[in-house]
Structure 1
Amino acid sequence: MNPIPNASPGAAPSGQARAPQERPQPSPEEPPVVTHHEIRAGGKTLRYTATVGMMPIKNRDGETEARIFFMAYTLDEGGNRGRRPLTFSFNGGPGSASVWLHLGAIGPRRVPMNPDGTMPPPPYQLVDNEYTWLNQTDLVFIDPVGTGYSRAVRPDLASKFFGLQGDIESVGEFIRMYLTRYERWTSPLFLAGESYGTTRASALSGYLIGRGIAFNGIVLISTIMNFETTDFASGNDLPYVMYLPSYAATAWYHKKLSSDLQSRSVQDLVAEVEQWAASDYTLALDKGDRLTQQERQDAIAKMSRYTGLSSQFIDNANLRVSLSLFRKELLRAERRSIGRLDARFKGFDANYASDSPDFDASEAAIRPPYTSTFNQYVRSELGYKSDVEYYILGGGITSPWNWNTNNGYVDTSVALRNALARDPYLKIFVAMGYYDMATPYFAVQYTLHHISLDPLLLKNFSTGYYEAGHMMYIDEKQLGRLRADVGKFIDEAQRR
């Protein structure tokens, strides 16, 4: 029996002085690994320096609470380094490392997929990336805490970073530290994010402008800022409207529409569907049980025409076809399901009578090539050796993500609007894929049209549409288009 009630193991007996407890000493910082390389891109030789390492993230008392892994590329050239553009890039999740944009689109080395983006047979390889952004801007790829090699220093501190606010603050602190340590405060600054990385980027723009860090431009790839637009929750009809043009584009791609619709371009088709979705379809959903029988039949017929789904199926779904139902139903007769990240991909399921696919065929196609090539690349070419698992996508977020909402939906477009209001020079480029079922392009349009911007600031936005999915760059033709669009954007965002 413990003679001191409620005492913890090791507690000093009552009346005795406690020995002062020493704080655990932080492990010393490891210096970054620096290597030198060259590639051929755009018909030119690019010589550059790679810097790979950990950035300590400290609290206000100066104690290190986490370490963020980064990979930076700086072009070796004369002139003032502090005036060369600098882009910070990350992916999404939450829980995804920066590897996808790093080795898929932006960095100096690239994972070649098949020309249409499907997975090649192993073993996989890396090639020089002729589409790299490095000829225009230095690059820093950030793995937020819980992704890649980035970790909290103690398990009890991890949850501090596993939420929207903690994520923004820690990545924001990384950016401040990088600008300071590498003397880049006077460089033209850019952010590039994908998926939840666009949530992070838009929130960071508002967070950092309040700390004196302004960006020339932000590249948002496959954007999600207003989460209400994609949440198929009971009582929320908005996602059904937002997804409908993507359903139509996907049905067109898989040749499930009538011949008159199949003969049109996907751009022409979705323009028509957008008009109907935003008008008659929205009204039909709003009426709910007040729809007349004729109105209901008209809506069912039009929806069947645009989606390739049977009228009976749409009627049974009460005009509301969720993403999982659509992915399963469109190719059910062929005993196939379609991908979420990229609806052009087909999957094999165990049970073709079920209501949802067994897995995302598009994610399954990209994970092995990117995982194996990165793990080889970081050790053999960048010289960073660690036995710690590099969390590519998932596995590192060990507690529920805190969205910091009060029974509402996350909407970081508010932060982006605040940044634009305070910095009218900020430019935004938004890249969208027609076959992206994770962040449908019509939902992105809706969000951009509801930011409540001053009309004078609308010119700060530019957009690009691609005949591909969430990661449009796995399709080499679309990668080339994306690079051309981003190149133009980076140049324009630096004009005074």
Structure 2
Amino acid sequence: MRKILLAGAVAALTAMPVLAAPDEENTDKTTAETPADAIVPQVRTKDLSGTFGGQRISYTATMQEHVLKGEDDKDEAVIVTTSYVKDPLDTSRPVFFLFNGGPGSGTVWLMMGAFGPKRVAIPTDGTDDGAPPYPIVDNPDSLLDVADLVFIDPPGTGFSYLTDDADPKDYYGLNPDARAVAKVIRLWLNENGRWNSPKFLGGESYGTTRSAAVVNQLEGNTYNDVGLNGIVLISTVLDFALDANVPGNELPYITYIPSMAATALYHGKATAPSTEAFVEEARQFALGPYATALLKGQDLPQAERAAVRAELSRFTGLSEQFLDNADLRVTPARFYKELLRDRGLTVGRLDARYTGRDYDSAGEFADNDPSFYGIDAGYTAAINSWARETLGFETEREYQSIGREPGQYWTWEPEGIRGGDHYMNVAPYIGRALRENSGLAVFVGQGWYDFATPFFAAEYSLNRTGIPQDRVGFHYYDAGHMMYVRDEDRQKLSADLRTFIRQQLQ
């Protein structure tokens, strides 16, 4: 979304304390001598161990504030990273930098749901996370066996914040945000002596947009000095024209059809031998008869309209009368409300497996997204418990899992992309990086039931001119935006990424 909730999911059972050896202590490496008006960055470390990918690994967890200064050398932003580095230090190991999206989302979702050494355990079957306590459990699917992990909370997210001396416009926007994240990555490499380590960059949702913009800062624009081995895009949004349901723009209707087909099949509103087969049928219909019909506009012959309407009904599970009333163009918001109206239910946006019950069954818009309110409390509880109680991070600030401040100032203009600033499309950044770095490859992970960043839109964005196709690989999962909330898909995602990382090191 421009307002994409960068995403995550989790939830309910009984709280389990994170155990540490009796002699483990939090250590504060705060610098002792600094100017009186300077921010003293907090650094908390803890030695821990766990089993990841079948390997027993000792690691150091470090939660650290990085201070970014303005041109007048005043402290402007405090950016928090949480890193997990295998002991003993091995600089030949890859470093994987990760963040979520929003653009105001903290990295809680990827850290406490997918790849961190601990995760919050919520139901995986599309039911909500309920009430606390929420169990925080070992995460054998963490990628610590193949890479050191650095989770970044960009400006205005998580515990990261701007000072009173900062102008929000210098940090909140596609390129200002990317420059700040790129600067933090370079600082981390400096401080940890990891410049020659293999490097991977990954984001979820708007975090994939950020990934493209950060790659442009690291390899193609501001610095040109940080080579990457891999880019990981989870629930991808690169071309925002595909999310613009405005009169005259037919692309969103086309790219949502396969997601609607997968959802209709999941909820028993369509029939097919498999999700993959039905989705492929829907792709071909969307690109062929359906796209042709929309492009003909009011010149569409009635017989052709009737044939397309019947097929559209078969794929979407919606009645031909409804589709006729909508002029064959169904927005996602209408689909959430209409698909299961006869059952008095709505379906989720982030994950259409989830269902909700509105105040009533009238109207055309759902009251809320059941796939978000079904997971958010568990994640927020987990990150605060882990950061404050286990890692010993001290702050009076609230953790911004979905912060609103960045969105109040956000600017979307890309820079250096052919075609100008007519709309936001950062896929060309990835194409340029692939063309100029022969050792770079892209991993794309998509859920069938994700309407925030539909998989067909990701496919469309990444097969445009100028993007080498031999180093872009797609992987699909039987869940939604945060596919890792489903146990089977978290395990599959972890295994797929292990394979990707190892292949890039060969």
1:372-391 alignment, distance < 5 Å = 372-391=381-400
2:500 corresponds in structure 1 to 489
* 1:200 and 2:214 matched: no
* 1:399 and 2:391 matched: no
* 1:300 and 2:313 matched: no
Identical counterparts, % of pairs: 41
**Cα gap change, 1:385/1:161 in structure 2, threshold over 3 Å: closer, same or farther?**
same
What SS does structure 2 have at the residue aligned with 1:186? coil
- The answer for unaligned runs of 5 or more in structure 1 is 1-23
2:94 corresponds in structure 1 to 85
CA distance in 1 between counterparts of 2:272 and 2:293 reads 28
Kindly provide the CA deviation profile for residues 315-367 of structure 1, in whole angstroms up to 9, marking residues without a partner as x: 00001000100011001111111100000100111132111111110011110
Counterpart residue identity of residue 438, structure 2: P
* 1:237 and 2:250 matched: yes
CA distance in 2 between counterparts of 1:124 and 1:449 reads 41
CA distance in 1 between counterparts of 2:282 and 2:181 reads 39
Residue from 253, 259, 263 that aligns with 1:246: 259
Q: Post-superposition shift, 1:63?
A: 2.8
* 1:56 and 2:67 matched: yes
1:414 corresponds in structure 2 to 428
CA distance in 1 between counterparts of 2:100 and 2:45 reads 23
Counterpart residue identity of residue 176, structure 1: R
Counterpart residue identity of residue 221, structure 1: I
CA distance in 1 between counterparts of 2:66 and 2:368 reads 35
Kindly provide the CA deviation profile for residues 362-411 of structure 1, in whole angstroms up to 9, marking residues without a partner as x: 01111010011111111111110211111001233262311126662211
8 Å Cα contact 2:103/2:407 also seen in 1: no
- The answer for unaligned runs of 5 or more in structure 2 is 1-34, 415-419
TM-score by length of 1: 0.91
1:202-217 alignment, distance < 5 Å = 202-210=212-220, 211=223, 212-217=225-230
* 1:182 and 2:192 matched: yes
Residue from 458, 480, 498 that aligns with 1:469: 480
Counterpart residue identity of residue 330, structure 2: V
Residue from 321, 332, 346 that aligns with 1:337: 346
CA distance in 2 between counterparts of 1:277 and 1:383 reads 52
CA distance in 1 between counterparts of 2:426 and 2:439 reads 19
* 1:444 and 2:458 matched: yes
Q: Post-superposition shift, 1:493?
A: 1.0
Which deviates more, 388-397 or 307-316? 388-397
Which deviates more, 233-242 or 202-211? 202-211
CA distance in 2 between counterparts of 1:284 and 1:199 reads 31
2:140 corresponds in structure 1 to 130
2:268 corresponds in structure 1 to 255
2:445 corresponds in structure 1 to 431
Q: Post-superposition shift, 1:263?
A: 4.1
Counterpart residue identity of residue 466, structure 2: S
**Cα gap change, 1:169/1:264 in structure 2, threshold over 3 Å: closer, same or farther?**
same
2:367 corresponds in structure 1 to 358
1:17 corresponds in structure 2 to none
8 Å Cα contact 2:174/2:413 also seen in 1: yes
* Number of residue pairs aligned between Structure 1 and Structure 2: 463
1:275-294 alignment, distance < 5 Å = 275-294=284-303
1:221 corresponds in structure 2 to 234
Residue from 154, 163, 170 that aligns with 1:153: 163
1:20 corresponds in structure 2 to none
CA distance in 1 between counterparts of 2:304 and 2:245 reads 23
Q: Post-superposition shift, 1:120?
A: 3.9
Which deviates more, 179-188 or 457-466? 457-466
Q: Post-superposition shift, 1:84?
A: 1.4
Q: Post-superposition shift, 1:419?
A: 1.0
CA distance in 2 between counterparts of 1:51 and 1:138 reads 12
What's the RMSD between the two structures over aligned residues?
A: 1.5
CA distance in 2 between counterparts of 1:31 and 1:300 reads 60
